[in-house]
Structures are given as C-alpha cells and as structure tokens.
Amino acid sequence: MAIIVPELFSRAVLEQMPHSLRIGRVAYDATAEADDGKITQAGDIVHFPVIKRTARSVEVVQGVPLVPAELDMSDMTAQIKHMAVPYTVYDKQQIQVKPGVLDKVVEDISTEMARTIDADLVDTMDTEAVYKEATDAPDSITLNELYKGMKCFGDSVDSASFAGIIINSRLWESFMNMPPFIKTDYTFNNQGNGVIKDGVIGYLFGGVPVIICDNNTFDENANECKTYFVKKHSLGYIFQRRVMIEEARALRLLATDIVASALYCTKLLDNKGAVILRKTAA
C-alpha cells in the first residue's frame, strides 16, 4: 500500500527547499529562459542565448543615414546533473509516528537537495567568475577588502542591484567588529544588524543582505574562507525536471523506499556578476 501521494509529496519538498537554501537565495530560477523552454525535452547540455550590449547612441546628421547596431548573441551551455535522495520508511515508524514520519522525510530530503544545489552554485562561481580579489588573512575580512570587491563592479554599485554577500561563519566576528556594520549613527547602516534571521546577519552598503553560510564557503585544502558578492540575475539554476518522487515496497523489510530526484544545472549567467574574496585569489 502506498504511503505517499507523489504529487503532494514533491510539492511539499519544493515548498520546503527555499527555507533551506542559502546560496540559492542570491540565485534565481532561470528554467524558463533556457533554450526557449526546450530544456525540459532532452539532452545533457543546456543551451541558452546571451545577448551582448551593442546599442550605441549617435549624433544625428541631416542627410546621413543612421547605422543601426546588430543583435549579437553567443551560446552559453551548462551540464545537466542528476541528483537523487533515497529514503527508507519502516512500517513500524509509519504506524507509531504517523504523519510525523513523512514530515521528517520531507524536511530531510528538501534540506539535502538544497545543500547540494547550494554547493554546486558555489562551485559554479569559483569556476566561472571573472572578478577575484585577495584578502590579507584566511579567516577574517576588513571593510577595505569589501570595498575592493565592490570596486570590481565599477559604477554599477547600486545597492538594489545586489542579490547579496555570502560569508562563512568564521567571518561573522569580523563583521561584528566593523563600526559601519553595527553602529547606527552611520547613514548607510541598517537597524537590526547583528540580529540573525534566516541566515541574514544584517545589511551592508545601504541594503545589501549579508548571508552566513558554511556550505562550500571554506576551502579545506587552502584553509581559508571564501566570500562572494553576487549581483541579481547573475547566478542561476535550471531544472530540466523538477523534483520527482517515486516509491517502492520493500516487502521483506516491511518498509517503503522513497526516492526523490531532479535533473538540474547551475550557471553564472553573467561571469562579471560575481566577485570572490579569498586569501589565495588567482
């Protein structure tokens, strides 16, 4: 006898995932933009166009025809990954705890899927980001070093254009020792900085959320933290197939196997839309 309704279960996992995502909060779902929606059909590679900025204003000279800019598009690709989270629910557990068991399964599956997507988003930025700046220390950061990261964006530094700043928890103390972050008499500071809510420890530069996340933000080999500035609509994830739930009866174990799976990829859609700060920045 089935213990879940797959459609309802997958919807519950999808609804729970945003609560577990940290890096995913600064990314966006670019599925609709990928290959004009054809990504859901077939293939291991996602193709979608990148439109280059070619428009230029010109001075009008009477009698001289205007020369229009031409649309310039390049092809961007990303590799599809197949992620699965298997789970076993024993009959005894289901009978004794009843709905509580399935609630726990939903929570565990959604958390693990979010953790995997988050880690892949970080790997994507590590691989594809153009801007990288060095810090003096491996496990602390200064306001001047954060300014160096902001300077990479030139004059495109409106606070509203940033999705967020991602930091490792080892850097939390650095932020709490920055007067411009904690003192309310700074004009660009926000009330409530230092109060952690949903992973956000506060706001910097007049409204850019600072998000604390230990998932893949510390290089164990180099023994150093990695900090990320991310612009809105620069980092994305794409689903070829969203979460699908299947179950199979393990009769001899008196249990039911539940498997959640998804086909997805991650991509830095604008390789100049992110900055990495770390001691050994290449």
Give the CATH number for residue 207: 3.30.2320
Q: Do 162 and 110 share a structural domain?
A: no
For the chain, what is the mean pLDDT? 83
Residue 187 has pLDDT above 70, yes or no: no
Residue 113 lies in a domain: yes
Residue 143 lies in a domain: yes
- Could you give the CA distance from residue 202 to residue 209 in angstroms, rounded to a whole number? 6
pTM listed for this prediction: 0.82
Residue 96 has pLDDT above 90, yes or no: no
The answer to whether 224 touches 218, Cβ cutoff 8 Å, is yes
Residue 32 lies in a domain: yes
Band (pLDDT 50/70/90 cuts) for residue 43 is: low
Q: Do β-strands 162-167 and 208-212 pair in parallel, antiparallel, or remain unpaired?
A: parallel
Roughly what angle, to the nearest 10 degrees, separates helices 6-20 and 99-128?
50
- pLDDT tens per residue, range 102-153: 778 888 888 888 899 999 999 999 999 999 999 999 999 999 999 999 999 9
Q: State which of 4-8, 34-38, 132-136 shows the largest mean pLDDT.
A: 132-136
Q: Do 221 and 147 share a structural domain?
A: yes
**227 backbone dihedrals φ, ψ, rounded to 5°:** -115, 140
Residue 64 lies in a domain: no
Q: Do 25 and 148 share a structural domain?
A: no
Structural domains counted in the chain: 2
- Domain span holding position 178: 132-234+273-278
- Could you give the CA distance from residue 42 to residue 155 in angstroms, rounded to a whole number? 41
Residue 36 has pLDDT above 70, yes or no: no
> Which secondary-structure segment (H or E) carries 85?
strand 81-90
- Could you give the CA distance from residue 152 to residue 280 in angstroms, rounded to a whole number? 17
Residue 181 lies in a domain: yes
Q: What count of other Cβ atoms lies within 10 Å of the Cβ of residue 157?
A: 16
Residue 118 lies in a domain: yes
- pLDDT tens per residue, range 248-275: 888 899 998 989 898 999 989 888 999 9
* Residue 104 pLDDT: 80
Structure tokens at 134: 């060095």
Residue 202 lies in a domain: yes
